[in-house]
Amino acid sequence: MPLGSSCLGRQIRSVELVPGDVYEVSDPSLTQLPCDSLLLAGDCIVNESMLTGESVPVSKIPATNESLGTLDLKLSTIPPKAARHFLFSGTRIIRARRPHDGKDDEAVALAIVARTGFNTTKGALVRSMLFPKPSGFKFYTDAFRYISVMGGVAGVGFVASFVNFVRLKLAWHLIVVRALDLITIVVPPALPATLTIGTNFALSRFSDLLDQSSTLLPGAAHERDPTVDYSVHKAVLYTMASCHSLRTVDSDLMGDPLDLKMFDFTSWSFKEGSQDPFSVQTEELRHQDHSMVHPPAGSEFDPEAMDEFGTAAIQLSIIRGFEFVSQLRRASVVTWQSGSLDANIYVKGAPECMKAICKPESFPLDYEDLLDFYTHRGFRVIACATKAVSSAWADIQKMEREQAESGLDFIGFIIFENKLKPATAGTIEELGQAGIRQVMCTGDNILTAISVARECSLIDRTAHCFVAHIAEGTFALLRSSRWTDPNLR
């Protein structure tokens, strides 16, 4: 198969691939990745639900020297900085695009083989299923204890019966048969089959419960208020419209469900460009088309922004971006509006992380009170911040994340209402009645988690919950902690 204008390739079977081989990812016949690879050119959107269980599409961009420095193929896990360039074996390709650098019309998306077979991440998963580590379940332990006790009782009965039958001078074959009858009565042969059937039935019921309760919240519900003057909250609106990682696949938007709900609320339109905003772009790519967002019909113009022809049309070009990182708990984009001389940085993330990157004077006096008000009622709260930068194109592309996400002005909260699924409370109650321990794992605000836990009866509505506040100390001072009751704030 052709790999570009300067080299030719050939078609081989995927089992013949070895580390170091370069293959074409943008081949239309390739729908599933055959091995662990590093993306060299082009960009991809893949579905990694086979590995992670999350059906959210993941974007992949070409590897950089910085990301390669963090990669160690001897380890089974891939560091986060390298994961956005790493193509995992077995994941499904949703879209693969050729590089758009304007130099080579025959360029294709390329990847280099890193690991194959059982050395891949998928292979390690399959190997762990074929050769699982020994694990003991309390159910099986109790079952064997029961059988052992009953076997002991049967053994005592066998000895007593044998002695009694010998004393009665019965025939030897009759003594053996009658004594063994006692063992089959005490420990019935059908017991293992009964235990197996009961276990399978319990697992099937438990699987149905997991399907109902794996996600407690169906999604963010919203209603657009036509009486609100959205021009007053223009910066928040621009954040909602541009600060996301959505992609277009077959004319449909795909991405994180929260980003989809947020963008859908704005009623704006998204046009994906040929350049990925989350990768650094060279000067040659400056004039290539970028991803853009623009408002719906009837709201195309901004009366506050004027250009040489009069009122300027609102059109935000996303020229740089920093993806969401779980450790930082935020994401950001750099946008440029048509007719404007400056670029704007929009950041959204957890409210707890905003104080470290925003100017103290930009926070309202009731910041904590507002946050407590919404989180206590179970709402999901996303904080927004922004700042204008007058840097040149090259400076923006060289800008580090720490520089972009500093000195910001806090502009407001985005509030999402998460409603419980109808079957959630009943499912959790049934799990509790079965004696199964229930634990909530969430990245939301702790007060939101407590509110949802009370609503679904994971904890009693009248129970006191205490939140731990752990402060790091120096070598001279040990780490200190304090406990607070959120209901008393």
Instruction: Tell me how crowded residue 225 is: count the other CB atoms within 10 A of its CB.
Output: 7
Q: Answer positive or negative: Cα dihedral of 155, 160, 161, 163.
A: positive
Cβ count within 10 A of residue 135: 6
CA distance 258 to 256: 5
3-class state of residue 174 by DSSP: helix
Residue 1 pLDDT: 38
Residue 72 designated active-site: no
pLDDT at residue 4, as a whole number: 42
Q: Is the pLDDT of residue 484 over 70?
A: no
User: Distance of CA 260 to CAs 67, 219, 244, Å?
Assistant: 29, 10, 9
Give the pLDDT confidence score for residue 348 in this predicted structure: 93
| Pairwise pLDDT comparison (385 vs 9), residue with the higher score | 385
Residue 488 in tokens: 């008393």
Token pair of 73 as six digits: 């193929």
User: If DSSP codes are grouped into helix, strand and coil, which group holds residue 177?
Assistant: helix
Q: Please tell me the predicted confidence (pLDDT) of residue 384.
A: 92
Calculate ∠ Cα 407-489-378, nearest 5°.
Answer: 75
Token pair, residue 51, equals: 């590995």
HSE (side-chain half, CA atoms, 13 Å) at 257: 11
Q: Which residue, 252, 234, 254, is CA-closest to 244?
A: 254
pLDDT in tens, 170-191: 888 887 777 777 777 777 777 7
Does pLDDT of 332 surpass 80? yes
Tell me which of 211, 395, 460, 485 is the catalytic residue.
Answer: 211
pLDDT > 70 fraction of the chain, expressed in percent and rounded: 79
304 band by pLDDT with thresholds 50, 70 and 90:
low
Determine the Cα–Cα distance for residues 333 and 326; give it in Å rounded to an integer.
16
- For the ranges 31-45, 203-217, 356-370, the lowest mean pLDDT is seen at 203-217
Average pLDDT (61-88) is: 80
Q: What pLDDT, on the 0 to 100 scale, is given for residue 475?
A: 47
431's CB contacts (< 8 A; 6+ apart) are 209, 213, 438
Residue 13 has pLDDT above 50, yes or no: yes
Rounded distance between C-alpha atoms, residue 216 and residue 177, angstroms? 59
Question: Residue 282: its pLDDT value, please?
Answer: 52
Start-end of H helices in 168-256: 172-186, 191-213, 234-242
How confident is the model over 138-146, as a mean pLDDT? 77
Strand partners, 172: none
Lookup result for tokens 């009693």: 460
**Average pLDDT over all residues of the chain:** 77
Which residue bears the tokens 């052709």?
2
With a cut of 70, say whether residue 322 has pLDDT above it: yes
Q: In this structure, which amino acid lies at residue 422?
A: P
Segment of 219-223, 279-283, 484-488 carrying the highest mean pLDDT:
484-488
pLDDT tens figures, 211-246: 544 444 455 554 545 555 444 478 888 899 888 888
- Counting Cα atoms < 13 Å in the Cβ hemisphere of 62 gives 16
Residue 233: strand, helix, or coil:
coil
Amino acid identity for residue 363 in this structure = F
* Under 8 Å between Cβ of 187 and 151: yes
Tens digit of pLDDT for each residue in 391-446?
777 788 788 888 888 899 998 898 888 777 788 888 888 888 878 888 888 777 78
Strands of the sheet with 110-115, listed across from one edge = 22-24, 110-115, 36-41, 86-87
Identify which of 192-196, 217-221, 373-377 has the greatest average pLDDT: 373-377
Cβ atoms < 10 Å from Cβ of 195: 15
Q: Averaged over 95-117, what is the pLDDT?
A: 77
Q: DSSP label at 88?
A: P
In angstroms, the first-to-last Cα distance of the chain is 67
Residue 214: predicted pLDDT: 44
* Strand partners for 97: 43
CA 466 to chain centre: 28
If you compute the radius of gyration of the chain from its CA atoms, what whole number of angstroms results? 31
Q: What was the pLDDT predicted at 465? A: 82
Res 347 pLDDT > 90? yes
Comparing 361 with 325, the larger pLDDT belongs to 361
Mean pLDDT value across residues 333-347: 85
Residue 21 pLDDT > 70:
yes
- Mean pLDDT along residues 381-393: 86
* Contact between 300 and 320 (Cβ < 8 Å): no
In the chain, the percentage of residues whose pLDDT exceeds 90 is: 3
User: How far is the CA of 256 from the CAs of 124, 180, 260, 312, 323, in angstroms?
Assistant: 27, 65, 6, 31, 12
Quote the pLDDT of residue 212: 46
For residue 319, pLDDT over 80 is answered with: yes
For residue 307, the model assigns a pLDDT of 53
Window from 41-45, 110-114, 198-202 with minimum mean pLDDT:
198-202
pTM for the model: 0.65
pLDDT digits (tens, 9 = 90+) for 34-74: 888 988 888 888 888 777 766 677 888 888 887 777 787 77
> Does 478 or 471 have the greater pLDDT score?
471
Beta-strand (E) ranges in 266-339? 269-271, 291-294, 301-307, 310-313, 316-325, 330-337
